[in-house]
Amino acid sequence: MSTADLSARPGAALTGTIRVPGDKSISHRSLILGALANGVTTVEGLLEGDDVLATAAAMRAFGASVTRTGPGAWTIEGQGRFVEPGDIVDCGNAGTGVRLIMGAAAGFDLKATFTGDASLKKRPMGRVLTPLGLMGATWLSREGGRLPLTLSGGGLKGVRYVLPMASAQVKSAVLLAGLNASGETVVAEPEATRDHTERMLRAFGASVDVTDASEGRTIRLQGGQSLTGCHVAVPGDPSSAAFPLVAALITPSSTVTVEGVMLNPLRTGLFDTLIEMGADLTIANRRDAGGEEVGDITARYSPLKGVVVPPERAPAMIDEYPILAVAAAFASGSTVMRGIGEMRVKESDRIALMAAGLSACGVGVEEEPEGFTVVGTAGGNHPVRGETRVTTHGDHRIAMSHLVLGLAAQGSVTVDEPGMIATSFPGFVELMQGLGGEIG
Ligand code: S3P
């Protein structure tokens, strides 16, 4: 992992047609479900980022055979169960990886010790441990349910669990544990979150019942179901596509197309918000790709205006607020983002780091406990100055957001720990350079 700083300088327009790596959420799930299944699972377009590679290594530790057969092409031979790992399972930077794997592992009679990098060791695991405990799992952890922790699984009973926060990771952990619990497991989510686990469980042959009502979504699963290996085609990650698309919207004379981007409505809140801000964002060639809708998204440089983002949209764009805040910095008027306290427990406290980074770049930001407001600079007399070095706390999305800002600011922006970008978006720098972006 590179430790040298990386800088983005304002320069020419960005132009070109690109593809971004495979979706991170679907990539993690394809490996985990493949390892839980009987038989062979083949994956094409797997995101070969550090987070997902950590999950691949973890699945080997739990007994699956996991092989790379070509770029993005992987084969997983599951045994229909997890076995006890012979060593500590290190999930690196990946919250999705560790939380989903803990859920899956809890269903088996084994002990497993999990750890992660400095960021993951600070993140709350109690949100997953609490429902797993209700089902019968036990654990020994650091203070506050922090990693490293040892989980003992097996003998689980199905549970009815109402999610106390909008979290697809918690929902998924409970459903994966429920697969190997006795009786029925029911997860009720007051706000719908990304549904990749439910969709993929069905693709692997499980029966999952989903009902939508005004008070939320309920997912039901009978325990004791076995999964059968299948083929997974991973679509382009909308959370990664967000960076080149916003870069084009804020850099004069730019036009960028990202092909094959997943358009699952529980993931596209950023695109809806950008269109409300006046972005010239068009989606063409909508098609089905392996059970998910994908399309080619074109962004052209656009004058943007500030908006109030509806808090109920947060689950559909929770990872995109950092790059939205960058777009908001170049808009006219303020952009108000509320109901996003979850941002404080991501790879870093993303509200605090975006507020600090944007302020250092000359942008007005008002931070609140559960949100922030960015005062757009367009039409005002305070440009987005840039000319700063940002401490990213090892957070890939904080790094990429500030580099995108640097492409359109008055002066360059430098980030530390750029090697962390490879957790979700390997090849980001080369891709942006190919569009004409001066990053290096
Ligand atoms: C993810 C869910 C989200 C998101 C994360 C990936 C997933 O987290 O932030 O990057 O794949 O389920 P929460 O479910 O904790 O909000």
For the segment 3-49, what is each residue's pLDDT rounded down to a tens digit?
699 999 998 899 999 999 999 999 999 999 999 999 999 999 999 99
- DSSP track, 295-312: EEEEEE----B--EEPGG
Residue with the nearest Cα to atom 16 of ligand 1?
A: 167
**Domain covering 6-22+236-439, topology:** UDP-n-acetylglucosamine1-carboxyvinyl-transferase; Chain (3.65.10)
For residue 1, the model assigns a pLDDT of: 41
* Given the residues 23, 90, 319, 395, the one annotated as active site: 319
342 C-beta closer than 6 A to ligand 1: yes
Distance from the alpha carbon of residue 198 to the mean position of ligand 1, in angstroms: 14
pLDDT surpasses 70 at 420: yes
The predicted structure's pLDDT at residue 3:
64
Q: Is the CB of 423 under 6 A from ligand 1?
A: no
The answer, yes or no, to whether any atom of ligand 1 lies below 6 A from the CB of 27, is no
DSSP labels, 324-388: HHHHHHTSBSEEEEES-GGGGGSSS-HHHHHHHHHHHTT-EEEEETTEEEEE--TTSS------E
Q: Is the pTM of this model over 0.95?
A: yes
The percentage of residues in the chain with a pLDDT greater than 90, rounded to a whole number, is 96
The predicted pLDDT at position 40 comes to 98
Q: Cα dist. 233→27, 29, 198, 422 in Å?
A: 9, 12, 16, 21
Residue 319 is among the residues annotated as catalytic for this protein: yes
User: Could you identify the atom of ligand 1 that is nearest to the CA of residue 25?
Assistant: 11
User: Residue 120 has what DSSP assignment?
Assistant: G
Domain 24-233: state its class: alpha beta
The predicted-structure confidence for 125-134, as pLDDT tens digits, reads as follows 999 999 999 9
The Cα–Cα gap between 369 and 186 comes to: 32
Instruction: Determine if ligand 1 sits within 6 Å of the CB of residue 191.
Output: no
Which pair of tokens denotes residue 285? Answer: 């060639």
From the alpha carbon of 170, which atom of ligand 1 is closest? 14
Given this chain, do its domains 6-22+236-439 and 24-233 carry the same CATH topology? Answer: yes
* Nearest ligand 1 atom, CA 127: 15
Query: What's the rounded mean pLDDT across residues 245-265?
Result: 98
Q: What separation in angstroms does the CA of 130 have from each of 125, 127, 155, 180, 222?
A: 9, 6, 16, 17, 20
What does the domain layout of the chain look like in residue ranges?
A: 6-22+236-439, 24-233
Q: Are 432 and 5 contacting, i.e. CB atoms less than 8 angstroms apart?
A: no
pLDDT at 214: 86
